Structure 1
Amino acid sequence: MPSLTTKTKRPGARFRTVTPVLSAVVALALPLTGCTTVPTTAPSAVRAQPAADGQGRFGTVDCRKAKCIALTFDAGPSEHSARLLDILKEKQVPATFFLLGKRHIAKYPELVKRMADEGHEVASHTWDHKILTRIKPEQIREELRKTNDAIDKLTGHRPTLMRPPQGRTNDTVHRISREMGLSEVLWSVTAKDYRTSDPKLIHKRVLQQSSRDGIILLHDIYPGTVPAVPGIIDALKERGYVFVTVPQLLAPGKAEPGTVYRP
């Protein structure tokens, strides 16, 4: 949808060099930064399109009128995810989960089923967190295919959304995503929870960056993140925000395969 796509420059396109001594888990979450130009489409532009009905387990939300925000979690499931799902259920908040395959979906299949059963959007974060812009096209396809197959087998629903590791994407990734029926979803809010285990700091960072149509990036694999979630939800609700999944944020429009979405 070229007419809906805008070019957005984000300062500092070169990513921080991660030294070998850093944990591989920390490397999962390096922020999207840079001076490269990534064509992206804003949720408000998608809502101008007729399409999906916006139905969700937590009710229909019209984000053309409501002050919506999407809570998303990368790189799970993990040992912290069951508690997170308890919190989301108690607070009646839907989320979007971008799941990893190896060591995650494969290790916690019951949590993947629960995410889908409780009305959350289950999406792909690739199989092994390979940086898609650094690998061959057939490897990109394999990273996405294996994850989609695993989620489909567990939930009966094939993902339509994916988040590229570290937010790194390019024309080849767009083309393959389009072929596989996947849209790419980036973010506008990051707590950098891979650098801190302090729930108060995570809470503060999210609230400082949040705005209407925001997409919040958190990780339920880190110990400080899930304890921060109840306070984040309560504080944003007090500010008038309504939590939605990414598809609900775009409704009544619908995500188009091969398109990159970011507020």
Structure 2
Amino acid sequence: MPENKKKSKVNALAVAVTALALALGGCSADSTSPAAAREKAASEGKPLSLSATHTDCTRAKCIALTFDAGPGEDTPRLLDTLKEKKVHATFFLLGRNHVLKHPGLVRRIAAEGHEVANHTWSHRRLDELGTEDIREELSRTQDAIAKITGHRPTLMRPPQGRINEDVTRVSRELGLAQILWSATAKDYSTTDSALIEKRILDQAGRDGIILLHDIYEGTVPAVPAIIDELKRRGYTFVTVPELLAPGKAEPGEVYRP
């Protein structure tokens, strides 16, 4: 086979592998795992404060349930399920057409003990934007959430998990840690709740961060069975900050199991 054809095949394979990795777990940038965050804090003598979390994830089998791109019409039913199951989740909220459209839901998410986080204003890929546009995407959502809840988020999730040096720089400036994930159901591509459940259960692991969306038809109906089965397997559900405790999500840093 000619050398140039070999190189083309190698390059095509590399692109495919990269695309698959991004689809499964977000950007491949250097990141800190929850275990590493906890170990670093412990080495610095930071105690675990049970006023901040009721679970010691150095001992318990913890997992974090997160929802992107809401709130939406199905979010009240999801919140009812989480309340019934006594599970706290982390919600990465979209500003335009979501936070602004559903301020009462944003208040309810915060009031019921869930972590309120930033998923940009309009879901544009941040790695394709200039610094000022990145800042606008994140800061407008920060401001909108703060106006409703009285608190500015400390966590963000970049759309598609795509980040670069500019995204990191602006995130640090705005006091936002970047949170990726380890399990995704690709629930944007199916309405099959049983399939969504299976995909998450197949990928679940200790210190995992589950990515779901509370805006797609099949997702919220899948959540009760996901919670029940993972509890049966011995998992304790925590928010992302609880997963890192006694570590603290540092602005600009990338966290991924």
TM-score (norm: length of structure 2) = 0.88
8 Å contact kept, 1:152–1:158: yes
Partner of 1:118: 112
| Residue 124 (structure 1) shift | 0.3
Name the amino acid aligned to 1:94: H
Structure that is richer in helix per residue: 2
In structure 2, do the counterparts of structure 1 residues 157 and 73 end up closer, same or farther at CA, with 3 Å as the change threshold?
same
8 Å contact kept, 1:182–1:257: yes
8 Å contact kept, 2:25–2:184: no
8 Å contact kept, 2:142–2:152: yes
| Residue 54 (structure 1) shift | 5.6
The CA distance in 2 between the partners of 1:141 and 1:67, in whole Å, is: 36
Which among 77, 80, 86 is matched to residue 80 of structure 2? 86
Q: Is residue 103 of structure 1 aligned with residue 84 of structure 2?
A: no
Runs (4+) of structure 1 exceeding 6 A deviation are: none
| Residue 47 (structure 1) shift | 0.7
Name the amino acid aligned to 1:179: E
Q: Is residue 222 of structure 1 aligned with residue 213 of structure 2?
A: no
The CA distance in 2 between the partners of 1:54 and 1:262, in whole Å, is: 23
8 Å contact kept, 2:25–2:182: no
Partner of 1:53: 49
Aligned residues: 239
8 Å contact kept, 1:189–1:210: yes
The CA distance in 2 between the partners of 1:250 and 1:141, in whole Å, is: 26
Q: Is residue 179 of structure 1 aligned with residue 173 of structure 2?
A: yes
Partner of 1:69: 63
Name the amino acid aligned to 1:192: K
In structure 2, do the counterparts of structure 1 residues 174 and 52 end up closer, same or farther at CA, with 3 Å as the change threshold?
farther
In structure 2, do the counterparts of structure 1 residues 54 and 145 end up closer, same or farther at CA, with 3 Å as the change threshold?
farther
Which among 193, 196, 204 is matched to residue 190 of structure 2? 196
Which among 1, 8, 13 is matched to residue 18 of structure 2? 13
8 Å contact kept, 1:67–1:213: yes
8 Å contact kept, 2:183–2:210: yes
| Residue 171 (structure 1) shift | 1.0
In structure 2, do the counterparts of structure 1 residues 143 and 226 end up closer, same or farther at CA, with 3 Å as the change threshold?
same
Which among 32, 45, 67 is matched to residue 41 of structure 1? 32
| Residue 33 (structure 1) shift | 6.0
**Rg larger for:** 2
8 Å contact kept, 1:14–1:33: no
Partner of 2:151: 157
TM-score (norm: length of structure 1) = 0.86
The runs of 5 or more residues in structure 1 that have no matched partner are 1-9, 17-29
